[in-house]
Amino acid sequence: MRLAALALALAAVSAPVSASSLSSTFTAVSDYTFDGVSQTQNDPALQASLDFSAENGFYAGVWASNVEFSDTDPANTEIDLYAGFAKDYESGWGWTAGVVQYTYTGAPSSYDYAEITGGVTFPTTTTFQVWAADDDALGGGAWRAKVKHSFALPGEFSLDLEATRTQYEGSLYTDFTHGQIGVSREFGAFTAYVGYSDTNAPDDERVASNGDLTADGRFLFTLSAGIDWF
């Protein structure tokens, strides 16, 4: 399976930019999922990012995670490079536009591909983002559209909802829809998240080497820590 995720793209640029900054996020996840599909055969992953944002809205960064598509697949680490522009306004509206390059260490260059992306942030804490690519790694053209919304809960908790639709022009993968619900809370520099994810992806296309399904319903646990370098 040649799938990837840019888990921190919107999070890295959604905050209002008042000056240049450099930050990192370190994350431990119970399962690295890409829109509900495990990239680690249902195993945990460690992830890290380095993100730069400028006063004029320009952003760039790198994000990495271990991956294991199958016991015999050569890919072992996903490294994503991304850049673009993002703007947020006092009214609560915002937008982002950029490009993402996905690469995989240990695997041939045919695994690598690029996406263009654009998104809108609404004053209601809702975000909508689309990604589009045209590459043999995806069986040709493909696009994804994601909607996310958060509700404030008592005790500084947040109820986080998201839904994603993925469609492919070719026959390498089957179109599918992903939904996820979770609760998150910040504890100083740390953010904890627990959620439930499910998809309608065909079971026979999403199976780990040991026979376990990799896109069925599952609970997810995440703990991340952020560092501001400047």
What domains sit in the chain, N to C, each tagged with a CATH number? 9-223 (2.40.160.40)
> What are the distances in angstroms from CA 80 to CA 20, 65, 91, 105, 204?
21, 9, 31, 11, 28
Q: Would you tell me how many other CB atoms lie within 10 Å of the CB of residue 13?
A: 26
Q: Which residues pair with 174 in a beta bridge?
A: none
Mean pLDDT for 24-45 is 98
Query: pLDDT tens digit string along 35-64?
Result: 999 999 999 999 999 999 999 999 999 999
Query: pLDDT tens digit string along 81-110?
Result: 999 999 999 999 999 999 999 999 999 999
Query: pLDDT tens digit string along 140-173?
Result: 999 999 999 999 999 999 999 999 999 999 999 9
In the predicted model, is pLDDT for residue 194 greater than 80? yes
